[in-house]
């Protein structure tokens, strides 16, 4: 239906909001894509502009994924389909991934976006919050032990389908299928990070490092 097309476009536009780029340009006069890893994401904003900027970008990027995934509920869900039906989650999953694609290829920033981790997290949060909690836990543990955000993102990505399958034992196969697809997507967007990790060149992130003056 027209409504579904509209909602798909809206999800893409939401994901397309280049938070890192716009925030950096507006408040620091800096395009974060010209520094650090060159990525338009929360991690690189943290790296280039600091903790406060990174946290705000992370929050907004999570919100993008969450909002896109919940669009049918925020608008009139009855127009999309019966939201009590188990298949309804398929529409939500698709909208979440479309928002992530918007984040990766933002129409508002020359199609050069980020890696989609925060936006994926917002989507997972909207779909299955206990699994999202597992993902955050794994992310934080890996980050505190290794100080590699990329590795933490990859491990958190794998946590989603694993927890869905073995801990929460979902009966909705599409969540598991999307979970596996998300893992593949994270591996693709983190190719350069994986190369750097293997060579020992990946930059480390310290959440609680005192700034030396
Ligand atoms: O969220 C992206 C993160 O996993 C890696 O970012 O800037 O270190 O490539 P970055």
pLDDT digits (tens, 9 = 90+) for 34-87: 999 999 999 999 999 999 999 999 999 999 999 999 998 888 766 666 766 767
Q: What percent of the chain has pLDDT over 70?
A: 94
Counting from 1 in the atom list of ligand 1, the atom nearest the Cα of 205 is 8
- Tell me how far the alpha carbon of residue 159 lies from the centroid of ligand 1, in angstroms: 17
pLDDT at residue 115, as a whole number? 98
Nearest CA to ligand 1 atom 7: 44
Mean pLDDT of 25-33: 98
Quote the CA–CA distance of 53 and 103 in Å, as a whole number: 18
CA 187 to centroid of ligand 1, rounded, Å? 12
Distance 149 CA to ligand 1 centre (A): 6
Sole residue written with tokens 């199609």: 111
Q: Which of 81-95, 100-114, 156-170 has the lowest mean pLDDT?
A: 81-95
Pocket of ligand 1 (CB under 6 A): 37, 39, 41, 43-44, 115, 117, 149-150, 153, 193
Q: How far is the CA of 103 from the centre of ligand 1 (A)?
A: 13
Q: What is the pTM of this model?
A: 0.94
Residue 111 per-residue DSSP state:
T
Ligand 1 center from residue 51 Cα (angstroms): 15
Task: Quote the pLDDT of residue 154.
Answer: 98
Closest to 143 (Cα-Cα) out of 154, 155, 152: 152
**pLDDT, tens digit, 9 for 90 and up, residues 88-100:** 899 999 999 999 9
Which among 195, 71, 182 is positioned nearest to 135, based on CA atoms? 182
pLDDT of the residue at 193: 98
Question: 44, 100, 151, 154: which to mutate for ligand 1, most atoms within 8 A of CB?
Answer: 44
First to last CA, the chain: 58
User: How big is the chain by its Cα radius of gyration, in Å?
Assistant: 17
CA–CA gap between residue 58 and residue 171 (Å, rounded): 31
Q: Angle, nearest 10°, between helix axes 51-69 and 88-104? A: 140
Q: What is the pLDDT of residue 75?
A: 84
Query: pLDDT grade, residue 211 (50/70/90)?
Result: low
**CA distances, 171 to each of 36, 178, 188 (Å):** 42, 14, 28
Q: How buried is residue 5: exposed, middle or buried, by Cβ count under 10 Å (0-12/13-18/19+)?
A: exposed
pLDDT of residue 161: 97
**Which atom of ligand 1 is least distant from the CA of 153?**
4
Give every CB contact of residue 79 below 8 A, 6+ residues apart in sequence.
1, 3
The Cα–Cα gap between 6 and 17 comes to 17
Examine the pLDDT at 130 and tell me if it is beyond 90. Answer: yes
Nearest CA to ligand 1 atom 1: 117
- Measured in Å, residue 161 CA sits from the centre of ligand 1 at 21
d(CA 29, CA 213): 22
* CA trace torsion 186, 188, 189, 195 (10° rounding): 110
Helix axes 88-104, 173-189, angle to 10 degrees: 10
């Amino acid at each position: 239906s027209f409504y579904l097309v509209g909602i798909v476009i809206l999800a893409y536009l939401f994901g397309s909001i280049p938070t890192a780029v716009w925030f950096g340009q507006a408040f620091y006069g800096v395009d974060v894509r010209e520094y650090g890893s060159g990525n338009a994401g929360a991690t690189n904003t943290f790296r280039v502009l600091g903790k406060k900027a990174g946290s705000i970008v992370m929050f907004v990027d999570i919100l993008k994924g969450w909002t896109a995934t919940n669009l049918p509920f925020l608008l009139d869900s009855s127009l999309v389909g019966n939201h009590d039906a188990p298949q309804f989650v398929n529409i939500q999953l698709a909208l979440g991934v479309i928002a992530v694609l918007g984040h990766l290829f933002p129409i508002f920033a020359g199609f050069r976006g980020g890696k989609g981790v925060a936006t994926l997290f917002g989507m997972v949060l909207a779909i299955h919050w206990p699994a999202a909690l597992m993902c955050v836990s794994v992310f934080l543990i890996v980050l505190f032990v290794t100080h590699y955000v990329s590795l933490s993102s990859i491990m958190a990505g794998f946590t989603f389908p694993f927890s869905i399958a073995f801990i929460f034992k979902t009966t909705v196969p599409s969540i598991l299928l999307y979970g596996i697809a998300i893992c593949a997507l994270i591996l693709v967007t983190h190719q350069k990070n994986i190369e750097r990790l293997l060579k020992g060149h990946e930059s480390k992130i310290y959440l609680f490092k005192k700034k030396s003056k």
